[in-house]
């Protein structure tokens, strides 16, 4: 089971207040209602808190899709999946 | 020469569709829709006429009557434009809500307007369901991506459309017939419904031609969302009323995507916002060397004052001028502007449009001398002037004095007749071109158990012009944390709008209030800027 993606899905549902969100690696901002540059800041903060990590400025604005984001998160976790 | 108004027909949607077909533009591209994934779909004037006729018939089949309020809660899309035009064709009143709105913002607008019908999509339905019990006048919701009716009140758009014909005779519409209802935020209370009428077409068409300088065969692109007055007046009505081809893009801001559109679609006139232009400035200059913008003639900006630095950047990097324009939801169309043919004074609002008499008045209502600051006021009576604040006739009356509309902006006029914006005379926050009322944000934050008191202000910001700053007094024995900050941010984002989300929180021991309990935002602003607080004799002890 991909626990990072599951946890990430939880975060998205919380941030966008939408329990129906379902993520894949290919999901982009165009696929999620309300994912704009302002809500992206909320999303980043929520991910950092959930995974106890921090993103660099370059990382924050460099994710092309959710797969990119998940890979970056995995790379920062102490015990990669 | 083509006339805009024929046989007394002022109906905006008819002028934008059927009249264009009658003038020989049936096959001309009205809208080139570019999806977020860059798929293109062209809609001719004839297809726009038929699509909006079908919506008009759909509405009449449902028994919608002239003057009733019909709202949309949809992302930018071709369907949104078809629906908007269909509503106007039957002389109902159209209200467009931003797709980023949360439940509180939706409830305020749908409740105040008494909207009887709403168009939305499946993924937004959850928000509507949660507030519907508080909206007794909302009878039905039409869902554009629902293949079958879900119930007697949640209906399928495609099913209803299949029963609606492509021809529709638009009733003769007088200039005073109500058309569009835009909501705008104030410094106190809930957002106000700004009611416009069909005669606004005179200003929308005139300013589109004469200020934005758009010619018959130009490609025009207005990046504004239709939830904003600019997105209606210049993203729908202006270009369509003039038979011009326009671009609509469904994706979010992204520098490379936007420049690809400017280049590949051979855009001639581009209307955007200072925040977007400032974001483009932050990109590496190399990015722009890869694009050929030879077709782009003029760039216009609206929403917030345009910094001289942005004009300089455009001259150096894009080799184009950017003309700043000024108007408000209440004015409906551009009132004061820089434009081709008028030398730009970077940082100024420009000069009033030909029919507009703009003056700077002091508190006594007298015109002040050039270079002296005062309230920017406009002689009432221009065609796109709003006709009332819905359900708030008293507040409408208060906006006029001796035949002048008080814009609420503080400005001055220089010796050559250019106007210069100084600031707002109220507490409304202009963040990235969106007016946000502090009261709406405070109300949302006060719903949280952790918040004892809150005061919200706008503070200067290099990117957004103003950012939302929230001063918070927490309940006893609570400590500030990033988790709590996230909770507060999400509360505002999801209850009000992402645009209203505070970018900064300050935790304080008290929120300054006067003796009647009103939050003294002036004091909060001085705390924020570190400047003297001024007269605090009315401060609550």
Is the pLDDT score of B114 beyond 90? yes
Contacts of A4 (CB under 8 A, 6+ apart): A70, A73, A74, A77, A81
Name the residue among A29, A36, A48 with its Cβ closest to that of B100. Answer: A36
Query: In Å, how far is A25's CA from the nearest CA of chain B?
Result: 16
User: Is residue B77 within 8 angstroms of chain A, CB to CB?
Assistant: no
Q: Summarize pLDDT for B395-433 with one digit per residue, the tens.
A: 999 999 999 999 999 999 999 999 999 888 888 898 988
> Within 10 Å of residue B42's Cβ, how many Cβ atoms?
12
In this predicted model, what pLDDT tens digit does every residue of B235-258 receive, in sequence order?
999 999 999 999 999 998 889 999
Which chain B residue's Cα is nearest to A47? B486
CA-CA distance, B272 to B222, in Å (whole number)? 6
Residue predicted with more confidence, B540 or B230: B230
Structure tokens at B65: 């009557």
Helix axes B438-446, B482-495, angle to 10 degrees: 120
Per-residue pLDDT tens over the stretch A42-71: 999 999 999 999 999 889 988 999 999 999
User: Considering the entire predicted model, what is its pTM?
Assistant: 0.89
Question: Do A15 and B251 count as a contact with CB atoms less than 8 A apart?
Answer: no
Q: Which of B81-85, B161-165, B184-188, B257-261 has the lowest mean pLDDT?
A: B184-188
Residue A77 at interface with chain B, using a CB cutoff of 8 Å:
no
Q: With an 8 Å Cβ cutoff, are A49 and B483 in contact? A: yes
pLDDT at residue B129, as a whole number: 97
User: Residue B534: pLDDT above 60?
Assistant: yes
How many H helices and E strands in chain B?
A: 18, 27
pLDDT of residue B535: 60
The Cα–Cα gap between B321 and B312 comes to: 9
The interface predicted TM-score (ipTM) is 0.93
């Amino acid at each position: 089971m991909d626990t990072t993606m599951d946890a990430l899905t939880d975060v998205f549902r919380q941030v966008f207040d939408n329990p129906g969100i379902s993520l894949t690696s290919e999901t982009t901002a165009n696929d999620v209602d309300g994912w704009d540059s302002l809500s992206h800041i909320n999303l980043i903060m929520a991910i950092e808190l959930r995974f106890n990590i921090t993103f660099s400025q370059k990382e924050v604005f460099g994710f092309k899709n959710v797969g990119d984001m998940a890979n970056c998160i995995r790379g920062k976790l102490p015990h990669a999946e | 020469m083509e006339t805009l108004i024929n046989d007394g027909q002022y109906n905006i949607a008819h002028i934008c569709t059927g009249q264009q077909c009658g003038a020989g533009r049936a096959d001309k591209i009205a809208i080139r829709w570019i999806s977020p994934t860059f798929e293109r779909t062209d809609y001719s004037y004839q297809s726009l006429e038929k699509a909006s006729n079908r919506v008009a018939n759909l509405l009449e089949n449902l028994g919608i009557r002239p003057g009733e309020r019909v709202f949309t809660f949809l992302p930018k899309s071709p369907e949104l434009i078809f629906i908007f035009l269909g509503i106007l064709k039957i002389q109902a009143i159209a209200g467009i809500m931003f797709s980023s709105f949360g439940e509180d913002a939706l409830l305020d607008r749908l409740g105040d307007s008494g909207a009887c019908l709403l168009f939305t999509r499946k993924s937004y339905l959850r928000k509507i369901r949660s507030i519907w019990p508080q909206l007794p006048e909302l009878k039905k919701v039409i869902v554009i991506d629902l293949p079958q009716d879900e119930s007697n009140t949640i209906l399928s758009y495609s099913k209803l459309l299949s029963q609606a014909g492509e021809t529709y005779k638009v009733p003769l519409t007088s200039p005073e017939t109500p058309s569009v209802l835009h909501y705008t935020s104030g410094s106190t209370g809930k957002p106000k419904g700004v009611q416009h009428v069909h005669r606004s077409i005179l200003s929308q068409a005139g300013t589109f031609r004469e200020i934005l300088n758009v010619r018959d065969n130009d490609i025009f692109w207005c990046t504004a969302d239709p939830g904003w007055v600019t997105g209606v007046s210049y993203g729908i009505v202006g270009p369509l009323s003039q038979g011009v081809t326009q671009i609509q893009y469904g994706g979010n801001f992204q520098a490379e995507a936007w420049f690809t559109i400017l280049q590949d679609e051979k855009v001639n006139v581009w209307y955007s916002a200072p925040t977007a232009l400032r974001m483009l400035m932050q990109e590496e200059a190399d990015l722009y060397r890869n694009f050929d913008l030879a077709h782009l003639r003029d760039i216009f900006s609206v929403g917030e004052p345009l910094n001289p630095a942005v004009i300089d950047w455009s001259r150096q990097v894009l080799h184009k001028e950017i003309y700043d324009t000024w108007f408000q939801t209440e004015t409906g169309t551009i009132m004061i502007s820089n434009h081709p043919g008028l030398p730009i004074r970077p940082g100024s609002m420009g000069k009033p449009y030909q029919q507009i008499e703009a003056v700077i008045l002091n508190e006594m209502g007298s015109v002040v001398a050039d270079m002296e600051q005062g309230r920017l006021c406009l002689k009432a009576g221009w065609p796109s002037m709003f006709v009332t604040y819905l359900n708030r006739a008293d507040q409408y009356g208060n906006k006029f004095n001796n035949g002048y509309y008080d814009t609420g902006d503080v400005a001055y006029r220089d010796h050559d007749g250019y106007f210069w914006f100084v600031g707002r005379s109220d507490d409304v926050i202009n963040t990235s071109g969106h007016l946000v009322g502090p009261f709406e944000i405070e109300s949302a934050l006060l719903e949280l158990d952790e918040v004892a008191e809150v005061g919200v202000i706008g503070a200067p910001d290099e990117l957004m012009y103003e950012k939302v700053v929230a001063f918070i007094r927490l309940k006893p024995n609570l400590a500030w944390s990033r988790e709590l900050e996230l909770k507060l941010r999400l509360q505002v984002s999801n209850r009000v709008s992402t645009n209203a989300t505070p970018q900064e929180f300050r935790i304080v021991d008290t929120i300054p209030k006067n003796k009647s309990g009103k939050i003294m935002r002036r004091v909060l602003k001085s705390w924020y800027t570190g400047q003297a607080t001024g007269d605090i004799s009315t401060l609550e002890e």
